[in-house]
Amino acid sequence: MSARLSIDLHTLPEEGKNFSGEIDPEIFDLPEHDVKPLGPMVYDLRVQRFGSELLLSGSLSAPFELICVRTVHPFKKTLVVDPANVSVEIEDEGSVDVTDALREELLLEIPDYPRCEEADEPMHCEIDPRYLAVDKPAEDGVETRPRAAGDDRWSALDALDKLDSER
């Protein structure tokens, strides 16, 4: 497993070359209470040079721990980009580090609203009815957070509603 993927332009044949391997999961560098990488990024790419850019085509994947938006439970999901087509501009003629471009391509696959029914091993994904505001029984045992003292942010909207009804 390598820490980065650099393409040496001097040894890259004109017809391109295949690259495959794993990149250390620390490249993701995500906030502590966010999505967590559970393993390395696996890549299988064909790299070709076209003028002043490199085209990387193939597949990328990495396992992550996501939090379900319904059940608030963690689950494992392997994010996959297949086919992956990444273009990287060549700035120097030595070697080109393509790690960040591959990282970004894979991170774009993180779902906005992850659900545990989409996990590698799907789970039952249903919100606990105790947390629903509609028809909430008084004896559910879940405390409702009180409004902050002096919080009148909603009163401005209430005043607008009263103006509309007076017209």
Quote the mean pLDDT of the chain: 84
Token duo for residue 139: 């004896």
Convert 53-92 to b/e letters by CB count within 10 Å (16 or more is b): ebebebebbbbbebebebbeeebebebebeebebebebee
Average pLDDT over residues 14-21: 91
Contact 99, 2 (CB under 8 A): no
Bridge partner residues of 20 (DSSP): 44
Predicted pLDDT at 125: 81
Predicted pLDDT at 40: 94
Predicted pLDDT at 148: 54
Q: pLDDT band for 3, please (50, 70, 90 cuts).
A: confident
pLDDT of 143 over the 80 cut: no
Query: Structural domain boundaries of the chain?
Result: 6-129
* DSSP-derived secondary structure letter, 117: G
Q: Who has greater pLDDT, 133 or 40?
A: 40
CA distance 95 to 32: 32
**pLDDT tens readout for residues 79-108:** 999 999 999 998 888 888 899 999 999 999
The pTM score is 0.71
What long-range pairs does 132-135 form, CB within 8 A, spacing at least 24? none
Helix-, strand-, coil-residue percentages of the chain, each rounded to 5: 20, 35, 45
Predicted pLDDT at 134: 59
Q: If we measure between CA atoms, which residue out of 86, 26, 82, 38 comes closest to residue 62? A: 38
**pLDDT tens readout for residues 103-140:** 999 999 999 999 989 888 988 888 766 666 655 556 66
